[in-house]
Amino acid sequence: MPVGPKRLLPYIAGFYALLFLFTTFTLLYEFVIPHGGIVITDPVFTTTITVPTTTADPITGPIGTGTTTEPVVTTTDPGLVYPGEVPAALLGGTVLGTYENENVLITLYQIRASNSDVYVADVVTTDGSQILAALAFNTFGGTNIVQTVSTMAEDHDAIFAINSDYASHYDYGYVIRNGMILRTSASYRDCVVLNADGTVAFHTEEETPLQSIVDDGAWQLWSFGPVIVRDGVSVASVNDGLARDAVNNPRSGFGAVSANHFMFVTVDGRTDASHGADIEEFADIMLLVGCTQAYNFDGGGSATMWFDGAVVNNPSEGTERKVGDCVYIRR
């Protein structure tokens, strides 16, 4: 008996419903649902506590019981001391916040440069390991593994955070985070390395074996670029072949004044109030705040600086863009 058109309707509707669900899931899986990647654990730091002990003198007995006494000299550890003088450009700006513990000093400034609002975190640390990296969902690689800088900062009990190189956006380029090697394929780019002793170095990836970088004590390695200040001189050029570098854009970057003295900088852009900076102007800003070495991070809508619970700059898209990673400093 032939099946009438009306009897076929439920089957046709069911087919299209399944097709819709399959297509929807495929699109969500491809562009929205996080999946894949390598889960990374946060570094664990141990603290050694030294307890003073009393020793006995073989003649007079325990210290303090003899007939003679020696003056006791006590010293107080002053903690971290700011090295040198604060750059004049920062002294002329507005202090947005400060933070201090036994391992880090942070002063956050807002200044004007290149017709833009510029946010500068002046950071002094005991060593390079105080500068930490967070990954979206604690995962490297994969698909759709992105979070806002705010979310990553809050999840890691940070006091300060800034977007970095969005390493998962690329399929190549060295990646080291918190001392862990996450990708070994070289890119055509120059990377910047923060060593555990607080020194900073640049390397051309295609010419430098990753193992030699690791052997030098690499703690963080970021691969985006370009290098914009080297040994106190601007090496940035709007004619470097990267179209984004010749355009006024929001920008984020990392700079070193000296070992364990760093500047993290975010420039607002793409608004009437802030034009943004091309790569040469960005290098000039890094020199203005005292950097002897400086490196360009991911910018545009990704440029985000966060401090003590709030985004301090004005992301160009009106809200935070979700990214793959950030740099942060723990409370």
20 and 138 share one domain: no
137 and 14 share one domain: no
Would you say 282 and 249 are in contact if contact means Cβ atoms under 8 Å apart? no
Mean pLDDT of the chain: 87
Q: What is the pLDDT of residue 43?
A: 79
Radius of gyration of the chain (CA): 26
Q: Tell me, yes or no, whether 52 lies in a domain.
A: no
* Residues 38-75: tens digit of each pLDDT: 777 787 665 444 444 444 444 444 444 444 445 544 44
Q: What is the pLDDT of residue 113?
A: 98
Q: What is the pLDDT of residue 39?
A: 79
**pLDDT over 90 (residue 329):** yes
213 and 266 share one domain: yes
Q: Tell me, yes or no, whether 67 lies in a domain.
A: no
- Please name which of 35, 7, 71, 14 lies closest in space to residue 168, comparing C-alpha atoms: 35
258 and 109 share one domain: yes
Q: What is the pLDDT of residue 74?
A: 45
Q: Tell me, yes or no, whether 225 lies in a domain.
A: yes
* Residues 214-233: tens digit of each pLDDT: 999 999 999 999 999 999 99
Full residue range of the structural domain in which residue 253 is found: 76-330
Name the band, by pLDDT with cuts 50, 70 and 90, for residue 265. Answer: very high
CA distance 22 to 15: 11
Q: Tell me, yes or no, whether 65 lies in a domain.
A: no
129 and 207 share one domain: yes
Q: Tell me, yes or no, whether 71 lies in a domain.
A: no
202 and 116 share one domain: yes
Per the structure, the count of domains in the chain is 2
DSSP strand E in 126-179: where? 132-135, 139-140, 158-163, 175-177
Of 19-23, 125-129, 177-181, 304-308, the least confident: 19-23
User: How many secondary structure helices (H) and strands (E) does the chain include?
Assistant: 5, 22
Find all residues with CB under 8 Å of 151, minimum gap 6, and list them. none
Q: Tell me, yes or no, whether 45 lies in a domain.
A: no
* Residues 193-210: tens digit of each pLDDT: 999 999 999 999 999 999
Instruction: Quote the distance between the C-alpha of residue 263 and its chain's center.
Output: 11
18 and 110 share one domain: no
Q: Tell me, yes or no, whether 58 lies in a domain.
A: no
116 and 242 share one domain: yes
CA distance 3 to 83: 88
Q: Tell me, yes or no, whether 64 lies in a domain.
A: no
27 and 138 share one domain: no
110 and 20 share one domain: no
10 and 114 share one domain: no
Q: What is the pLDDT of residue 41?
A: 78
* Residues 123-151: tens digit of each pLDDT: 999 999 999 999 999 999 888 899 999 99
Q: What is the pLDDT of residue 52?
A: 47
24 and 147 share one domain: no
